[in-house]
Structure 1
Amino acid sequence: MIRRIYLCLLALLMALSINSANAADTPIGPGDGLKISVFGNPDLSLETKVSDAGNITFPLIGAVGIGGLSAAEAEKKISGMLIEGGFLRKAEVNITVTELQSQQVSILGQVLHPGRYAIAGKRSVTDMLAMAGGVGPEGGDTAVVVRTRSGKTSKQVVNLQDMIQAADMKANLDLVNGDMIYVDRAPKFYIYGEVQHPGGYRLERNMTIAQALSIGGGLTPRGTERGVRIKRRDSKGNFLMIDATRDEILQTDDVVYVKESLF
């Protein structure tokens, strides 16, 4: 229940952090849908998509290369071509981006709606996670962000829980076309033997054996806390058997075994 409340609050905070993006500043690219009009000249109105080469075909002037330009820059270019070609004495061009396909960020892993999402203007990690519906119930507290800048690809881990709780947005990275966010599955531990509800459970930070027993429903009438053991992999991948106390801190993928009392 606590985890579910946290996820709802996290999704809400991420949704509230989305600022209004200015699509006019976003470069136009292949696949983008445009609606173009010229004031006072309804016959020049056009709805089109940008070709793979970054071009559109506009009435009177033909092919126009607008790939890489902002909407405002493309408006100025078309206006200039209409005037310089002698078609209009004054051309007030307006471009609306109706479909943004050239600028996208991939959001993968444990989010409610993974996929590729269009970005218009400045977007952050929390903005994009909110677009994907937030972190899912099986998601962890961290997101891996892969970004490419100046030809160099880097990876950074963002701890969403720490960032939200501390209200410190320094790690809320800005994203551009081609970036990727991956939310991994939350770590788990496993408990079996003489407990009421054996199985795998979400591992919370600094969880102890006593807390794990509680999550497992407590001991059966035949169970005993004496002699609880943990099966754990070491750094080389070998299994270790550890005699545990109530205050032992669990690690990812630990297997807790509760023995049967001899008396």
Structure 2
Amino acid sequence: MLCLGLLVVVTGVRAEEMSFSRYGLNSGDMVSITIFGEEDMKVETRLSDAGTISYPFLGEIRVKGMTVGQLQNFLTQKLKGDYFVDPKVSASITEYRKFFVSGEVKDPGGFSFEPGLTLEKAVALAGGFTQRASRKDIIVNREEKGKLTERTMKLDESVLPGDIINVKESFF
């Protein structure tokens, strides 16, 4: 614990900025929430199209954009006092939203995301490139800060949940 404290002081990083996951929850993600010692409070739910979940005592709450750690802190603060003395909330992602591959691949469609996925692995999940496929002209549409962005990506770059990948046709 002392080493962590020194790391924070030496690097100038505040403790609350040292998050293990920066992944923001979004529509289609499946989350599991438990409170230690309260089996009746376990919930496994998929975020709605509005980025909300329904939780006992709290009703429908918007969690879109929150990290898992932020969700845990939010639920702890909302449940503490009125409903529980000192709730120990645990949240995890049990299933990420799908990503999609279209264009010059053998088996286009939606696929389950797994951490560490690269563009090359995503194309492999879609059956690989067709003979006409361009290996350099691959467009990825991604939601960033609430806006849809489009960019060309290389095969070794990371794919994120919700990405829409379009493999273009090569003319040579």
- TM-score, normalized by length of structure 2? 0.67
Percent identical residues: 23
Quote the offset at 1:33 in angstroms: 2.2
Between the aligned partners of 2:43 and 2:96, the Cα distance in structure 1 is: 17
- TM-score, normalized by length of structure 1? 0.47
Quote the offset at 1:78 in angstroms: 0.8
Which residue of structure 2 lines up, in the alignment, with residue 98 of structure 1?
Answer: 94
- Residue 76 of structure 1: which of 69, 73, 85 is its match? 73
Spell out, residue by residue over 1:1-59, the C-alpha distance to the aligned partner (whole angstroms, 9 max, x if none).
xxxxxxxxxxxxxxxxxxxxxx9542212232222211111011112222233222211
Between the aligned partners of 1:152 and 1:28, the Cα distance in structure 2 is: 16
Between the aligned partners of 2:22 and 2:107, the Cα distance in structure 1 is: 27
Amino acid in the other structure paired with 1:33: M
Between the aligned partners of 2:66 and 2:148, the Cα distance in structure 1 is: 24
Between the aligned partners of 1:186 and 1:53, the Cα distance in structure 2 is: 38
Contact 1:26-1:121 within 8 A present in 2 as well: no
Between the aligned partners of 2:151 and 2:50, the Cα distance in structure 1 is: 31
Structure 2 residue matching 1:98: 3-state secondary structure: strand
- Superposed, 1:204-243 pairs within 5 Å as none
Between the aligned partners of 1:152 and 1:31, the Cα distance in structure 2 is: 17
Instruction: Pick closer, same or farther for the CA change 1:77–1:144 going to 2, 3 Å.
Output: same
- Higher RCO (C-alpha under 8 Å, 6+ residues apart): 2
Number of paired residues?
151
Which residue of structure 1 lines up, in the alignment, with residue 11 of structure 2?
Answer: none
Instruction: Pick closer, same or farther for the CA change 1:54–1:153 going to 2, 3 Å.
Output: closer
The answer to whether the aligner puts 1:182 opposite 2:157 as a matched pair is: no
- Residue 156 of structure 1: which of 149, 152, 156 is its match? 152
Which residue of structure 1 lines up, in the alignment, with residue 37 of structure 2?
Answer: 40
For the aligned residues, what is the CA RMSD?
3.2
Between the aligned partners of 2:114 and 2:23, the Cα distance in structure 1 is: 6
Contact 2:34-2:91 within 8 A present in 1 as well: yes
Instruction: Pick closer, same or farther for the CA change 1:80–1:138 going to 2, 3 Å.
Output: same
Spell out, residue by residue over 1:40-89, the C-alpha distance to the aligned partner (whole angstroms, 9 max, x if none).
1101111222223322221123332211111221111111211142x222
Contact 2:29-2:96 within 8 A present in 1 as well: yes
Spell out, residue by residue over 1:139-159, the C-alpha distance to the aligned partner (whole angstroms, 9 max, x if none).
44444223456758454375x
Between the aligned partners of 1:184 and 1:46, the Cα distance in structure 2 is: 42
Instruction: Pick closer, same or farther for the CA change 1:157–1:121 going to 2, 3 Å.
Output: closer
Between the aligned partners of 1:61 and 1:153, the Cα distance in structure 2 is: 34
Contact 2:26-2:51 within 8 A present in 1 as well: yes
Between the aligned partners of 1:47 and 1:154, the Cα distance in structure 2 is: 33
Which residue of structure 2 lines up, in the alignment, with residue 31 of structure 1?
Answer: 28
Amino acid in the other structure paired with 2:118: S
Between the aligned partners of 1:134 and 1:66, the Cα distance in structure 2 is: 35
The answer to whether the aligner puts 1:173 opposite 2:169 as a matched pair is: no
Structure 2 residue matching 1:48: 3-state secondary structure: strand
Contact 2:96-2:161 within 8 A present in 1 as well: no
